[in-house]
Amino acid sequence: MPKEVEELVFVWASRLSPYPWVRFDYPFPFVIRSKNRGELQCLLKQVIQEKKKSYLSGDMKHETGKRKAVLDLLLELYSENGELSEDDIKEDVKVFIFAGHDTASIAMTWALFLIGLYPDVQAKIHEELDRIFGDDVDRYVTENDLNKLEYLDCVIKESNRIYSPAPMFGRQIYEDTNICGHTIPKGASCIVLAHYLHRDEDVFPDPEKFDPDRFLPENSINIPEFAFVPFAAGPRNCIGKN
């Protein structure tokens, strides 16, 4: 599955390339896309059918206190309320695969890259981890532990600021909007470039510098609500955020 997803993302991304020889290498991208999309569709159909069979036969069991998987919740809506069709379920699962797989892996890759470049930041992370976990390296991380990892949270946010998992995203304007003297009419489609938002010197001084401290509580209070949007914002924000 990851290989098919990776190749499909590559074909899509190549359409955005500024280099013509990358954009117009017909028909090869479409051959790859068709092949991988077919394999992905077959796999999704198989997984959904198996889950559906288990659900209808009553074999699907959930541990007490454990959250249900997304596919389980979708099957409930399909079987009990008739709110979703099998095609709806398949499309929703595809969204989770692409959005969750691609953006989460991008965020982790760049965070590890930057941590490796800055030994002082790495040392602070180790110090925080040692303070919270001590010598107990085998126990599972809890939600309470995550809430205590304040510096690591700052590091991840700063990594996402510099290398946004969703560097651009589209929105449709629902009312006439004036930005810096330019009127954007209602109904227009716009591309928001998070890459440039995150390099606004008025909000992030010395924006090219990797500085996790800018997200400490006493510093981040001055960051406007939508000045930091590594996973977009609003109801259609990227599910990879969580």
Q: Which residues are catalytic?
A: 103, 231, 238
Determine the angle formed by the axes of helices 2-14 and 86-117, rounding to 10 degrees. 80
Three-state secondary structure string covering the chain = CHHHHHHHHHHHHHCCCCCHHHHCCCCHHHHHHHHHHHHHHHHHHHHHHHHHHHHHHCCCCCCCCCCCCHHHHHHHHHHHHCCCCHHHHHHHHHHHHHHHHHHHHHHHHHHHHHHHHCHHHHHHHHHHHHHHHCCCCCCCCCHHHHHHCHHHHHHHHHHHHHCCCCCEEEEECCCCEEECCEEECCCCEEEEEHHHHCCCCCCCCCCCCCCHHHHCHHHHCCCCCCCCCECECCCCCCHHHC
Q: Is position 180 annotated in a ligand binding site?
A: no
Q: 100-105 — which CB contacts under 8 Å span 24+ positions?
A: 100/239, 100/240, 101/2, 101/5, 101/240, 102/5, 102/9, 102/165, 102/240, 103/165, 103/166, 103/231, 103/238, 103/240, 103/241, 104/165, 104/240
Give the residue numbers of the binding site for heme.
238
